[in-house]
Structure 1
């Protein structure tokens, strides 16, 4: 009996220690809320905040389709349920009207709301924690300058146990550490600015870095590519020449891609087109250059080895050569724009021969583009982009697989075939 009592006390002690550790980890680096009045903002600060809001693409999540900008209500689907974006207008009852600069800073840096509740990381505070207090105050000043909109935030629709503050506290204790962006010694001011924009405000790794089963990111600094949760698009690796790495590009071409959505060596589609449209096309040339400098400096992943020659590769080549249905589909559906030789039309239709977006290991984006169409963003530098119409209503899964398999092996491309199962997934 005594042993059971001792064991029970020990278990309770361990539970208490674990709870204390979780509580401490969720309160670390939090400053007291000392400023209790709204910021007396200057015009320059409001203008700076408006620019930073574009850099962070804040309206992209905090504006519901057909709704008022920044008034919230948009549902962000996650593997754990739906999180609804909050109202960022200065309405006193449903928005930020009662928030002080300290409350706003705490939300960005520590992931905690006005009333102390822990925020779900669908709001990317694991990235925004790097934002400086000066930039936080500028963002706050801009949002306070907006017209207030009375729109109560919708309650989140998360499954148990993800809908509990306790589960979120444990997640944060395991995976979130408030971080101040520090200049890296030995790097230029331009590189450090690019790092701040890419890793902080731009939160690029929210899409371009992999996540574990609990939604935490494991290679935030590597930007090694990942499937975007609930969207099925693959955000290609930014540290790999075979995917979306730009280490070998001319710097100005990287700037052009971020500014206009298209460049001589590639164009953006899908979710990245929205990022360019809403965010990066509006950034200053100096900031785009800084981002390009940082992206070009990423340590590069090894280039995948080509398949060794032999009976297996010969059989694969023969199978591709016999893919007459894929070739006929290409000739009938694709050749008018992309050319019989797969070279496309410069400035209009991208080449398919030697295109790494065609040959990279993941076929998810290819399938989505063929089924749903592909449309670069309309930007000031490319106001009338050429798009690709959808074929999902005309082609079967087997036909989509056939034509993509042909494209991935024609004109010197060397990529594995696409299966009908991949198209159906």
Structure 2
């Protein structure tokens, strides 16, 4: 027996020792990658006092970043957190960022607030989940971070404890988060491009940084990281319910062929001659972009119009629906849709959108069309469009089979050529 043990040790101990050394090396690499570029907290740079101008600027920046979109819940105090952000890995709850000393960020310094935005670390140094889009916020300047901090110090403090994230193992561990950050996050700032205009550079700063547009409009891999060359290539929202169309593809949501005024109108009013916003983007316009000044809107338009065009790759087979399915969809369309959208899908200018050639209808992903049929389509109420027309929800009168049939009819009529929608597709859309 002792001889067998001795042989086992002589054979396997070197392998075991090598494995332990490899794990230690990998852990060191992950730790280094999480600390690269990170500077110690510099409390000497923290503002001693904030005047009204700085606070007003911080309020404007909070609008531009749509901070209330996650850190607020309808009917509850502003910035008190509590909204659940559903992801493929579980639910992350936005924290209380009011200046309450016990449950908010009342004891945070400006330097600690900057570290959260720039490095994705909490006050105690713990790593933050990227549902808080610090991969975009890392590009925010220290001056803007200080202005945001100054503004948040002025909002009424709310004592509301933060909810624990609902994440299963291993996603609830700091180790897995450290590995994710080592793979997909690197802190940094945007460098001015001297060969570009001041408007383009400002637009890039807003779109890529504070407005964090790429956080939704980019493809992500199975680990939740932005795929290589997938920025602005479109992707499902974190809750998998809506598809954020590609800003790099004019056939989806790209605006490269629009005038600057058309782009500004969509961001400010929620509608223009070409399109209207709905779903999560309607929330963004309602809560954020309609309040931006003309200079910033023009700058964003300049940058978005200059994005390199990349065609998205279709993944769904373009199979035609059966004659029976088209006939059923046609009957449902005539009964529920034709009165507003026209018997040929032509719509009514400035009132009801045309469905023939409609980019939302033709998206490879049917999610948005299914959601609009199920829950209704509502433009945001804005100063430029205070009483928008809306589409009522049909989820209470149409079954899953019905929604599949009518959306298929719309996607394959009047010259439209998009894949059929199955009942499974409808039920898959959360």
TM-score, L = length of structure 1: 0.93
Match of 2:5 in 1: none
What is the CA-CA distance between 1:350 and the residue it aligns to?
Answer: 0.5
Q: How does 1:4-403 map to 2 (within 5 A)?
A: 4-35=12-43, 39-219=48-228, 222-302=231-311, 316=320, 319=322, 323-403=326-406
Query: Shift in Å at residue 119 of structure 1?
Result: 0.7
State which drifts further: 345-354 or 249-258. Answer: 345-354
Give, in whole Å, the separation in 2 of the partners of 1:32 and 1:304.
Answer: 44
Work out the CA distance in 2 between the residues paired with 1:250 and 1:178: 34
Q: Aligned residues, how many? A: 418
State how far apart, in whole Å, the 1-side matches of 2:145 and 2:34 are. Answer: 21
Query: Residues 227 and 234 of structure 1 are in contact (CA less than 8 Å); yes or no, is this contact kept in structure 2?
Result: yes
Distance 2:287 2:229 in 1: 23
Greater displacement, 368-377 / 1-10: 1-10
Task: Give the superposition deviation at 1:401.
Answer: 2.1
Match among 405, 409, 413 for residue 410 of structure 1: 413
Per-residue CA shift, 1:235-273, capped at 9, x if unaligned?
111111211111111110010000011110000010100
**Structure 2 gaps, min length 5:** 1-8
In 1, are the aligned partners of 2:87 and 2:240 still within 8 Å (CA)? Answer: no
From the superposition, tell whether residues 263 and 53 of structure 1 become closer, same or farther in structure 2 (CA, over 3 Å). same
**Conserved in 2, the CA contact under 8 Å of 1:104 and 1:140?**
yes
Going from structure 1 to structure 2, the CA distance change for 1:4 and 1:123 (only over 3 Å counts) comes to same
Q: Secondary structure at the match of 2:204?
A: helix
2: CA distance, partners of 1:197 / 1:15: 40
- Classify the secondary structure of the residue corresponding to 1:232: coil
| Alpha-carbon spacing, 1:374–1:175, altered in 2? closer, same or farther (3 Å) | same
Aligned to 1:309: none
CA RMSD of aligned residues (A): 2.2
Contact 1:70 1:88 (C-alpha < 8 Å) held by counterparts: yes
Q: Cα gap change, 1:2/1:67 in structure 2, threshold over 3 Å: closer, same or farther?
A: same
Change (3 A) 1:155 1:257: same
